[in-house]
A and B are shown apart, each in its own frame.
Chain A
Amino acid sequence: MNRETRFWTVLFLGGCLLLAFQSLRTERGVGQQFVVRVDATTGKIIPPAADASDNSAAAVKTVIYEPASKDDPEAIWSFSRTSGIWIAALLTLCVFSYLYRDNVCYKLAESIIVGVSAGYWIVTYYWEVLIAKVLLRLSPELARYAFLPDTPADAKADYLCIIPVVLGCMVFCRLIPKIAWMGRWPLAFVVGTTAGLKLILFLNADFVRQIRSTILPLVVFSATASGGSELDWKQSIQNIVIVISVLSCVTYFYFSVEHKGIVGRISRVGIWVLMISFGASFALTVMGRITLLTMRLQFLFDDWLGLVRI
């Protein structure tokens, strides 16, 4: 172990010990979570005492748990939420450990997130589209019977819905080399729909409207209190800068003419404008990332360790 590694290890262990000591002193405990039992159908809180006496199947089926303060007389300790906070905190530390260097803990968190996020998307699409949209249309009766009891009784089946289902299933042909070409059909449908929609909407919102917003008066006069008008130099300068900047940037993006002479000089101004724009983007990106870090540290030091009372 070299000097540097020893230093960082001591720093890390010292930090852990300090945090452990601090958190043991807090009243809230470390990551302790409490809940109240609520009847889902009525919204009423079920006192913990009713747990043993009221044991009917219907009552148990409708119980949901709402977060509560430790001081709440009806609150009970929640194993699932407490363990959840601990796991979330440890995973957060696993990810932060990458700052020291790439390691097994980080890779573990990374592997978990790949699996969980893929699973999350599939489950969401299954319930939100395949059940709530496709099954509901193909068989409203079955949807009402098994999944969506609030489906209107007079809902009629729409068998046309089978076409996109078949078209969609054709993407799996890509896994079978002999009929892989059939997998292009659903792709073509998706690409065609997007292309058709975007052509009009981009032309309208991002081309015509943007040009219209750039057609500005270069000399602006504003009304005075006495009823006359005076030169609004601030607005005039602003408009002139906008028009010149947009034109020079567009010139820079115009590659059909060689950027020499006057075109070269204008496009150089365009580069400067873009650089200023990217500088602002950098500062605003910094702002977002720092806020996210703040949120994660608030989670560790408040929700988990209970060191901050926000």
Chain B
Amino acid sequence: MTSPLLDKLNTLDRRWIFLSMALAVLSPILLQIGSDETPSPPTIKLFDEIERLPEGSRILMAMDFDPTSAAELYPMALSFTRHCCLRHHKLYFVTIWPTGKPMIESTIKAVIGADFGSGDRPYQYGVDYVNLGYLAGEAVAISQISSDIRKARPQDARGTSLDELPIMSGVISVKEMDLIVNASAGFPGGKEWVQYAATPQKVPIAVGCTGVQSTQLFPYYPDQLLGLVTGIRGAIEYETMLAAKYPNPYANRSKRPAFLRGGAQRWAHRLMIGLIVLGNGIHLANRYRRTTHP
């Protein structure tokens, strides 16, 4: 049996696949096609917890990611921080990734600097939020701040002694936190926060993680993890909830980076499904050809 099409598909240059992937992602970007999401229970639980906590609750924002995972986690970091600021919680930013410090600074600037730095109740550094910066020692650093934050870092990211900051009064370790919110890209990240801090110290924790890491964290939910926001879908879900609850200004597209990535996601997923189906069609056709014309 001869089939020129099948022969062509068997020897298809992979650069055609690359080109089709580039077009599938690029077209929605150029046409500005976004996508909303229906919130899933693990995301809703984190949202509800931040809503439920009384104003002024202490939340540790652990930003353990870098530019390689910022596509999924930076929109999450923005949404989590915005939500906490809307509820006027006290925020303690920290990272155990050396490359995570610029991510914290960028988040603080985009959220607190842009939306909450002025007005009736402006967020004040040292009073309402603090940047504890980078903690060296990877997972051991989590263990350190679980017993004493000052042992891990006696000063904040600006070099100010922690004892001089009003927000740190009464805060000795992670145990004083009402919630840990972690944006996690891998090791060390959500898994280590669960193992080294949340489980032994019994502090509630919710993790926003990359799609790649999410399967590793599923077994912790719901017993050891209060909430789990997964990949760009989770980020869109959180933005959707934030937009529904606080439409002004969070329903605005410019405040929804994850939403804008959702369109490309949808088209690329369609392409992937198509490629898998086509690949298997070719496989079956080849098998048929081999059995009928050995």
- Residues of chain A touching chain B, judged by Cβ–Cβ distance below 8 Å, are 4, 8, 99-100, 120-121, 124-125, 128-129, 132-133, 136, 147-152, 193-194, 197, 201-202, 204-206, 209-210, 212-213, 277, 280-281, 284-288, 290-295, 297-298, 301-302, 307-310
Chain A interface mostly: helix
Q: For the complex, give the distance between the alpha carbons of A202 and B191 in Å.
A: 10
Q: Which residue of A lies closest to B19 (CB)?
A: A11
> Which 6 residue pairs are nearest across A and B when measured between Cβ atoms?
A295-B71, A284-B211, A288-B211, A287-B211, A205-B195, A205-B199
Given A8-B15, A197-B140, do A204 and B200 touch, yes or no (CB 8 Å)?
A: yes
Given A291-B232, A295-B71, do A205 and B30 touch, yes or no (CB 8 Å)?
A: no
- Chain A residue numbers with a CB within 8 Å of B101 are 124
Q: For the complex, give the distance between the alpha carbons of A277 and B230 in Å.
A: 16
- Chain A residue numbers with a CB within 8 Å of B21 are 293
- Residues of chain B touching chain A, judged by Cβ–Cβ distance below 8 Å, are 13, 15, 18, 21-22, 25-26, 29-30, 32, 68-72, 98-99, 101, 133-134, 136, 139-140, 143, 153-155, 158-161, 163-164, 194-196, 199-200, 210-212, 214-215, 219-220, 223-224, 230-233, 253-254, 257, 260-261, 264-265, 268-269, 272
Q: Given contacts A124-B101, A280-B215, list 9 more A-B pairs with CB under 8 A.
A: A150-B155, A150-B158, A193-B140, A205-B224, A210-B219, A288-B212, A291-B71, A293-B21, A310-B260
Partner of B195, one of A133, A136, A202, A295: A202
Q: Which of A294, A301, A309 has the most CB of B within 10 A?
A: A294
Are B140 and A297 in contact, with the CB atoms below 8 A? no
Are A150 and B98 in contact, with the CB atoms below 8 A? no
Chain B interface mostly: helix
Are A285 and B199 in contact, with the CB atoms below 8 A? no
B74, chain A: closest CB distance, angstroms: 8
- Chain A residue numbers with a CB within 8 Å of B215 are 277, 280-281, 284
A241, chain B: closest CB distance, angstroms: 14
A152, chain B: closest CB distance, angstroms: 5
Partner of B136, one of A129, A136, A152, A297: A129
B21, chain A: closest CB distance, angstroms: 8
Are B72 and A128 in contact, with the CB atoms below 8 A? no
Are B224 and A287 in contact, with the CB atoms below 8 A? no
Given A213-B223, A294-B25, do A125 and B143 touch, yes or no (CB 8 Å)?
A: no
Are B272 and A286 in contact, with the CB atoms below 8 A? yes
Are A290 and B160 in contact, with the CB atoms below 8 A? no
Are A284 and B260 in contact, with the CB atoms below 8 A? no
A211, chain B: closest CB distance, angstroms: 11
- Chain A residue numbers with a CB within 8 Å of B30 are 301, 307-308
Q: For the complex, give the distance between the alpha carbons of A197 and B139 in Å.
A: 10
Q: For the complex, give the distance between the alpha carbons of A129 and B264 in Å.
A: 41
Partner of B25, one of A212, A280, A297: A297
Q: For the complex, give the distance between the alpha carbons of A178 and B43 in Å.
A: 58
Q: Which residue of A lies closest to B199 (CB)?
A: A205
Q: For the complex, give the distance between the alpha carbons of A99 and B154 in Å.
A: 47
Q: Which residue of A lies closest to B272 (CB)?
A: A286
Q: For the complex, give the distance between the alpha carbons of A266 and B123 in Å.
A: 58
B13, chain A: closest CB distance, angstroms: 7
